[in-house]
Amino acid sequence: MASVFLVEDEVLIRMMVADMVTDLGHTVAAEAGDLPSALEHANNGVFDVAVLDVMLGRESIEPVAKALANRNIPFAFASGFGADGVPEQFRERPRLQKPFQIEQLERFIARLLA
């Protein structure tokens, strides 16, 4: 099972996804709802994979994605924006379209761990 870093600015959505992660047998290693805390975890946290919201309020997730890429930590995006919201250099990363079901999250995490 994996330890997961969740970045989502909507508290209720973050809580729902965290519950899904634990229901799937994984652990939530860290959570962040804003860019400064997300960057702190991305640069210093210990986890296997990350699931990133594309936008944190009006701020792009791109600095967090860059930090994770530099550490070779697998990550993917969860977005209601579609591919347009994903930073251009990371468009090849897996993307989970919001809203999603637990089975979709399960496949998503498995793909990151593969």
**Residue 8: predicted pLDDT:** 97
Q: Is residue 30 within 8 Å of 5, Cβ to Cβ? A: yes
Rounded average pLDDT over 56-85: 90
Above 70 in pLDDT, residue 106?
yes
Rounded average pLDDT over 16-40: 98
Class of residue 114 by CB neighbours under 10 A (exposed 0-12, middle 13-18, buried 19+): exposed
Alpha-carbon span 89 to 66, nearest angstrom: 9
The band of 83, judged by pLDDT with boundaries at 50, 70 and 90, is: low
**Residue 50: predicted pLDDT:** 97
- Could you read off the pLDDT of 31-61 as tens digits, one per residue? 999 999 999 999 999 999 999 999 898 999 9
The domain over range 3-113 is classified in CATH as 2.60.120.380:
no
> So where are the chain's domains?
3-113
Q: Can you give the pTM of this predicted structure?
A: 0.94
Alpha-carbon span 80 to 1, nearest angstrom: 27
